[in-house]
């Protein structure tokens, strides 16, 4: 009986901790209403303001300012008048500003200003009727895998020795960073660069007999390229230079010679970051 009571007490003590575990990244994103909704106004702490039902139009954008204990959200809307929109759109946004932002006057300076109005957003409405705003411009950070490299042939310093064209299976795994442009949520363009570790196959023939038998050696590789993604399918073209150390690297036929690689697969590159969130 004693152990059962201890177990029940432990479960009750853990429940608040689990219930308060939320994804804090939700505060960093901007969301859009996909359908029109009716929300209740509240203060910044989530306390309802009675009789303040407000119709929310489709397409208006907002940020989450607080996650309540019951799982619902406190939000504030983002409304501005950018250049390049017609008069009708400017008037629409002006009317929205008067609905979602309160005018105020500083009693000390006498200057006019605004105070954000807060609204309570039920979790069910957030899940079914809202979507994260597309970040068209962002920085990416992730892993890149190149399974195949093409090395080009040519002349060497030795007139009796020719550098061969080869398909090398020197798998490179490393870190990539770059710029991502997403015209839509369906596809994106990525310009990437980075460094990686790779395993290079060397032979006596391409190292001026520096090695006595065919073997693989570890090396660093630098890469630069373009990656196109549509849904989860990705294809990219890359170039770079491999750096072998020691005497083998100094005598390697492909020293300082660029390679060409193609990446093809399903989610071979994952990116994450946010920088420019303007529409």
Q: What is the pLDDT of residues 127-155, one digit of tens each?
A: 999 988 877 888 888 777 777 889 999 88
Fill in the DSSP letter of residue 277. Answer: -
> Out of 1-15, 16-30, 166-180, which region has the weakest mean confidence (pLDDT)?
1-15
69-100: pLDDT as tens digits? 999 999 998 765 555 556 776 676 666 666 67
Q: Is the pTM of this model over 0.85?
A: no
pLDDT in tens, 180-207: 998 887 889 999 999 988 889 999 999 9
Interacting residues of 239 by C-beta distance below 8 A, sequence separation 6+: 223, 224, 225, 258, 259, 260, 261
Question: How is 208-273 classified by DSSP, letter by letter?
Answer: TTSSSS-EEEEEEEEEEEEEEEETTEEEEEEEEEEE--HHHHHH-TTTT--EEEEEEEES------
């Amino acid at each position: 009986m004693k152990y059962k009571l201890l177990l029940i007490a432990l479960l009750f003590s853990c429940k608040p901790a689990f219930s308060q575990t939320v994804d804090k990244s939700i505060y960093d994103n901007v969301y859009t209403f996909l359908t029109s909704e009716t929300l209740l106004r509240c203060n910044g702490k989530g306390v309802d303001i009675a009789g303040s039902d407000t119709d929310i139009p489709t397409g208006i954008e907002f940020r989450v300012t607080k996650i309540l204990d019951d799982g619902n959200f406190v939000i504030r809307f983002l409304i501005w008048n950018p250049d390049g929109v017609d008069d009708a759109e400017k008037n629409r946004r002006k009317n929205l500003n008067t609905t979602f932002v309160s005018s105020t006057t500083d009693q000390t300076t006498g200057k006019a200003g605004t105070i954000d109005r807060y609204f309570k957003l039920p979790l069910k409405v957030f899940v079914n009727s809202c979507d994260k705003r597309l970040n068209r411009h962002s920085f990416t950070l992730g892993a890149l895998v190149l399974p195949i490299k093409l090395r080009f042939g040519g002349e060497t310093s030795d007139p009796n020795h020719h550098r061969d064209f080869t398909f090398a299976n020197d798998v490179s795994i490393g870190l990539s960073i770059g710029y991502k442009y997403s015209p839509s949520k369906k596809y994106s363009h990525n310009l990437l660069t980075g460094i990686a570790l790779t395993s290079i196959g060397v032979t006596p023939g391409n190292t001026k007999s520096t090695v006595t038998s065919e073997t693989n050696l570890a090396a660093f590789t630098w890469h630069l390229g373009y990656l196109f993604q549509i849904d989860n399918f990705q294809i990219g073209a890359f170039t770079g230079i491999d750096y072998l150390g020691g005497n083998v690297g100094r005598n390697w036929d492909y020293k300082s010679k660029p390679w060409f690689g193609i990446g093809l697969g399903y989610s071979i590159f994952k990116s994450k970051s946010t920088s420019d969130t303007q529409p």
